[in-house]
Amino acid sequence: MARTWTFGQKVGVGFAGTVALTLVMGVVAIYALRAVVASKDLVIDRNAQALIAAEALRADVEHKVAAARGFLLTGESRFEARFAEMRQKVATDIIELRGFVLTEAGRDLVATVERQENEHHGALEVVMALKKKEAAPADIAKAFDDLALPKRDALAATMGSLVTREKSLLDEAERAASDQASMAITVVIAVAVVAVIAAACAAILLTRALGRQIGAAVGQVQGSSAELQAAANQQATGAKEQATAMSEITTTINELLATSRQIAESAQRVAQIAGKTASAARTGDGTVERAHEAIGAIRRQVDLIVNHMLELGGKSQQIGAVLEIVAELAEQTNILAINATIEAAGAGETGKRFGVVADEIRKLADRVAGSTKEIRALIDEVRGAVNTTVMATETGAKAVEGGSRQFADVASSFKEIGGLVSTTTEAAREIELSTKQQTTAVEQVNAAIANVAQATKETAVSSSQTLQTASQLASLSRDLLRLVQPQGAAAGV
């Protein structure tokens, strides 16, 4: 069954065995480490703390005694306050020490210390009361020696016994923890040795099995690498030819792209020129329209002048008729003046003044007749000028009408030109758009060809790398075969 396992399965089995041994060694080491740590923690948390509390109690008792002595020597109240403070501190120390002591003997010693400390404190209070009463120093010293000193010695002895006992318990706990640590180290070393031996055996068995399997696989790799090398040679040759063809296609596409861009630029310029031409045609059309409107206005003014001239001719005829009447009146007046002069001459002196008046009337009639002739001559001239003006105005009106028709023809021509230019502009824009689309398409084709060319180059490089890899694989398979098989067998393969 073992012969059918794969390379990965065999490596996995060996790795799993190594991991299992490592886990067993780790579990044992963790268990031993936890036991050692627990032992050390017990020593630190209980025995060491009990010893520290006992030493602190003894120090606080000494401080309290020192405060009492200071009060007995000086009588100052600060020593009395210090004495009371240290009394509270000693009581707290006894409570803490009772919590750290684990044995019954230790608890009995703590109870004895508490009782002796209370007795000693009572004795000190008695001696301090004598100091407050200002007793003789000899009486105070005698009371201190008789009452306080024996109780202090007993308390010191008991606390010394307690400290000695806690030290011995701490030493025993340390030796037990050290023995347990040594045992844990021995167990870990034994497990490590067993794990190393088992791993070595598994490695030997796995190496032999894998050597046989790798040898067979290396033979197959050598055959495959030879075939891969031949295929890589063919692929490299084809990739080089394809890269050359792609390079030529890329050059052609670039030339086509440049031509398309030139056509697009020319079409754009044509569209711009056509747009400008259309704008100029529209401007000329507007100008012609405005000129046509101005000629129409001139024609209307000419017609109005003709009408006024005709009315002026009619008025001059009416004036002529009036002048005829005035001329007749002047002749008749002249005749009447001559007759009056004749009659005045016949009347003698009586009609002499009347003759003068008649003569003046005749002169006035002559002047009126002369003026009438002059006015008639002027009216005739005005009529001639009016007729000439009317004829010239009619001629100008006809010329204006002809010019108006020509302007209408020019305006129609400008409109046709504008339409043709608009058509040309649209065509140029369509050509420009089509050329831009063609340029975009050519650019996309160029990008695609560039990508293909790049891919071809990469294929060529990959083919070279594949060829190099095949050669390296063949060499590596020979080296690997020499590693896993004897020299004779490797040479035979």
For the stretch 216-244, pLDDT in tens is: 666 666 666 667 667 667 776 776 777 67
Cα 279 → chain centroid: 46
Instruction: Tell me: pLDDT of 159 over 80.
Output: yes
Highest-pLDDT range among 153-167, 277-291, 427-441: 153-167
Measure the N-to-C terminal CA separation of the chain; round to a whole number of Å.
27
pLDDT of residue 212: 65
Three-state secondary structure call for residue 349: coil
Q: How is residue 4 annotated by DSSP?
A: G
Contact status, residue 58 vs residue 159, Cβ threshold 8 Å: yes
Highest-pLDDT range among 2-16, 33-47, 201-215: 201-215
Angle subtended at Cα 377 by Cα 372 and Cα 379, rounded to the nearest 5 degrees = 90
The domain limits of the chain are 2-216
Q: Which of 188, 257, 152 is nearest to 34 (CA)?
A: 188
pLDDT of residue 85: 92
Helices within 133-148 (DSSP H only): 137-143
Angle subtended at Cα 66 by Cα 61 and Cα 71, rounded to the nearest 5 degrees = 125
Kindly state the average pLDDT of the residues 176-204: 78
pLDDT in tens, 53-71: 888 888 988 898 888 888 8
- Cα(430)–Cα(140) distance, rounded to whole angstroms? 131
Q: Which of 259, 391, 277, 372 is nearest to 325 (CA)?
A: 372
In Å, the largest CA–CA distance within the chain is 211
Q: How many helices (H) and strands (E) does the chain have?
A: 8, 0
Tell the CATH topology of 2-216. Answer: Four Helix Bundle (Hemerythrin (Met), subunit A) (1.20.120)
Q: How is residue 103 annotated by DSSP?
A: S
pLDDT of residue 443: 74
pLDDT in tens, 361-403: 878 878 877 888 788 788 888 778 877 887 877 787 777 777 7
Q: How is residue 5 annotated by DSSP?
A: -
Structure confidence at residue 489 as a pLDDT band (50, 70, 90): very low
Angle subtended at Cα 41 by Cα 38 and Cα 47, rounded to the nearest 5 degrees = 125
pLDDT in tens, 244-272: 777 777 777 777 777 777 777 776 777 77
Inter-CA distances, 391 with 52, 228, 303, Å: 150, 113, 12
- Cα(333)–Cα(372) distance, rounded to whole angstroms? 14
pLDDT of residue 488: 45
Structure tokens at 123: 């004795």
- Cα(254)–Cα(176) distance, rounded to whole angstroms? 92
pLDDT in tens, 320-331: 788 788 878 878
